[in-house]
Amino acid sequence: MTTIYLIRHAEAEGNLYRIVQGQRDSTLTDRGWRQVRALETRFEGVPIDAVYSSDLYRARATATAISRPRGLSVRGVPDLREIRVGEWEELTFGEIAYRDPVMLENFGRHMDLWHVPGAESPREALDRAWKFLNRVAAEHDGQTIAVVSHGYILRLLLSKIEGMTLEQTGSVPHGDNTAVSLLEYDNGAFRLLFRDDNRHLQTEAYLQQETSGKRKNALETGLRFRELPPDDPLSAELGAEAFDSVGRPFRRERYVSDAETRTTLAAYLGERTAGLAQIGPEPGQISILYLRDAYRRKGMGVQLIGQAVIRARARGGTHVRTAAPPERAPFFRACGFAPIGPAENGYTLWEKDIRFPKLDAGPDHD
């Protein structure tokens, strides 16, 4: 008999920024690294003989919670990757909901009806992961192994083990980040002992770290974004609001001139304009980050940060920086920024490292 722990990866940038990750690589959030430490504590004293993982970074990083304390290597496996979502990859959930709400509904609830150009079908994704799971379970007879994968893939696998059809799987939610399921494999058959257990995220020690004001789940409403030309009236309108919100005079001519060297993004919730992000001219430099009053404290501000992160990486940037007044300190700390010095007008300069930490030595996230 083989004992198998199936584990979903920790919170990754796509979960936080409300971006569809698919098979694109992303790193973990600060909260995700805390989940990794909680997972490591949960598995203290549990014998593990081998660790397998999707070869995507967010899964491999999570697998180090099991492998590192035991001196084991993480065996990266492409068959454990998240479902390939084709032209959806790196779009925001808000953009997809705006373009094709029916297909987004199918993706979660009617998997047998979901199809997107360039994507694999849920059945194809299930088949590759299922074949791997059966093979590795047979190879480790008499041992205990850990397998780290992704929310959609694990939802497909666990539902199949429970005897559900693909049509029925849509009624079952996927587990939380780092949720643990336990299987036994014997004589060619799996038995599910429990699924999607997150008790290690309910301990007092972990919950004490979740009082920083950071949101408690990854279900915030998704925004969509549109790039604006410098002379677009909406750009000037939102720019004036942003300047007014911090008590600074707005000079349209200077704003338009500056905007020519920057990327200006209008944020929308459906058809409604929610805010503005202006990035540049240096990679990762945020010159304006603004949400209208009705959209604040709803988990949307961090989605603007996400757009800056994606664009900075695409241009070879390693950090995201911005200047902000003292009252914004809690927000930027919760988004993983650290103060690096004073700026003009009594502001503080904040910086966020967006590089992928090396997994051999392990990041210091204390």
Residues 91-99, mean pLDDT to the nearest whole number: 95
Between the two ends of the chain, the Cα-to-Cα distance in Å is 39
Could you tell me the domains of the chain? 2-210 (3.40.50.1240), 224-353 (3.40.630.30)
Assess whether pLDDT exceeds 50 at residue 364: no
96 vs 88: CA distance, rounded Å: 7
Cα–Cα distances in angstroms (integers) from residue 250 to residues 210, 240, 301, 327, in the given order: 38, 6, 22, 21
State the sign of the Cα–Cα–Cα–Cα dihedral 334, 337, 338, 341: negative
| pLDDT score for 340 | 95
Assess whether pLDDT exceeds 50 at residue 217: no
Residue 53 C-alpha from the chain's centroid: 17
Assess whether pLDDT exceeds 60 at residue 214: no
In the three-class reduction of DSSP (H, G, I as helix; E, B as strand; rest coil), residue 276 is classed as strand
| pLDDT score for 360 | 66
Q: What is the amino acid identity at position 319?
A: H
Q: What digits encode the pLDDT tens for the residues 65-85?
A: 999 999 999 999 999 999 999
**Confidence category of residue 210, pLDDT binned at 50, 70, 90:** confident
348 vs 287: CA distance, rounded Å: 13
Q: What digits encode the pLDDT tens for the residues 298-354?
A: 889 999 999 999 999 999 999 999 999 999 999 999 999 999 999 988 899 999 999
Contact 202, 36 (CB under 8 A): no
Q: Is the backbone of residue 53 left (phi > 0), alpha (psi -120 to 50) or beta?
A: beta
Contact 261, 280 (CB under 8 A): yes
Q: What digits encode the pLDDT tens for the residues 39-53?
A: 999 999 999 999 999
Residue closest to 145 by CA, chosen among 72, 246, 205: 72
Residue closest to 9 by CA, chosen among 156, 128, 179: 179
Residue 221 C-alpha from the chain's centroid: 14
Q: What is the DSSP letter of 55?
A: S
Q: Is the backbone of residue 188 left (phi > 0), alpha (psi -120 to 50) or beta?
A: left
Higher pLDDT, 217 or 159: 159
At 184, list the tokens: 């036994």
